[in-house]
Amino acid sequence: MKLLSKETFRVVFESRENYRVLDGNGNELPGEIAGVYRNSEEHWPAVGDWVSGRRLPGEKCDWILIEGLQKRKSVIKRKDAGGRSSRNQVLVANVDVIFIVTSPNEDFSLNRIERYLALVAAENIQPVILLNKIDASTQSEAFFLEITKRFPKISAFAVSALENKLDGIKENIKQNSTVVFLGSSGVGKSTLINAILGRPKMEIGEIREEDSKGRHTTTHRELIVTETGAAIVDTPGLRSVGLTEDSESGEWFSDIENLFSNCKFGDCGHESEPGCAVQAALNGGDLERSRWQNYQQMQKEIRFEKRKADKALQSEEKKKWAKISVQIKQLKKWR
Q: How would you classify residue 143: left for phi > 0, otherwise alpha for psi between -120 and 50, otherwise beta?
A: alpha
Over range 75-98, report the average pLDDT: 81
Q: How would you classify residue 247: left for phi > 0, otherwise alpha for psi between -120 and 50, otherwise beta?
A: beta
Task: Give the domain-ending residue among 69, 96, 117.
Answer: 69
Task: Tell me the C-alpha distance between 317 and 307, whole Å.
Answer: 15
**106 and 230 housed in the same domain:** yes
When the pLDDT of each residue in the chain is averaged and rounded to a whole number, the result is 84
Q: Is residue 332 part of a domain?
A: no
Q: What is the pLDDT of residue 209?
A: 41
Q: What is the pLDDT of residue 328?
A: 65
Assess whether pLDDT exceeds 90 at residue 221. Answer: no
**223 and 79 housed in the same domain:** yes
Q: Is residue 326 part of a domain?
A: no
- Burial string for 14-45 (b: 16+ CB within 10 Å, else e) reads beeeebbbbbeeeeebebebeeebeeeeeebb
**118 and 136 housed in the same domain:** yes
Which H helix or E strand runs over 105? none
Residue closest to 306 by CA, chosen among 314, 295, 296: 314
Q: Domain limits at 48?
A: 6-69
Instruction: Read off the pLDDT band of 217 (50, 70, 90).
Output: low
Output the domain CATH number for residue 59.
2.40.50.140
Q: Is residue 240 part of a domain?
A: no
Output the domain CATH number for residue 174.
3.40.50.300
**146 and 289 housed in the same domain:** no
Q: What is the pLDDT of residue 248?
A: 87
**173 and 208 housed in the same domain:** yes
**131 and 262 housed in the same domain:** no
Instruction: Read off the pLDDT band of 34 (50, 70, 90).
Output: confident
Task: Give the domain-ending residue among 27, 50, 69.
Answer: 69
pLDDT tens by residue, 119-153: 999 898 999 999 999 998 899 999 999 999 999 98
Q: Is residue 104 part of a domain?
A: yes
Q: Structurally, how many domains does the chain consist of?
A: 3
Task: Give the domain-ending residue among 45, 69, 93.
Answer: 69
DSSP code per residue over 188-229:
-HHHHHHHHHTS--S---PEETTTTEEPP---SEEEEE-TTS
Q: What percent of the chain has pLDDT over 90?
A: 50
**82 and 206 housed in the same domain:** yes
Task: Tell me the C-alpha distance between 103 and 211, whole Å.
Answer: 10
**92 and 151 housed in the same domain:** yes
pLDDT tens by residue, 190-216: 899 999 988 766 554 444 444 444 444
Q: What is the pLDDT of residue 210?
A: 44
**201 and 295 housed in the same domain:** no
Q: Is residue 333 part of a domain?
A: no
Q: What is the pLDDT of residue 320?
A: 57
Instruction: Read off the pLDDT band of 335 (50, 70, 90).
Output: low
Q: What percent of the chain has pLDDT over 70?
A: 81
Q: What is the pLDDT of residue 205?
A: 47
Instruction: Read off the pLDDT band of 324 (50, 70, 90).
Output: low
**146 and 222 housed in the same domain:** yes
Which H helix or E strand runs over 76? strand 75-79
**63 and 133 housed in the same domain:** no
**219 and 294 housed in the same domain:** no
Assess whether pLDDT exceeds 80 at residue 279. Answer: yes
pLDDT tens by residue, 56-86: 887 667 889 999 899 999 999 988 665 555 5
Burial class (CB in 10 A: 0-12, 13-18, 19+), 209: exposed
Q: Is residue 327 part of a domain?
A: no
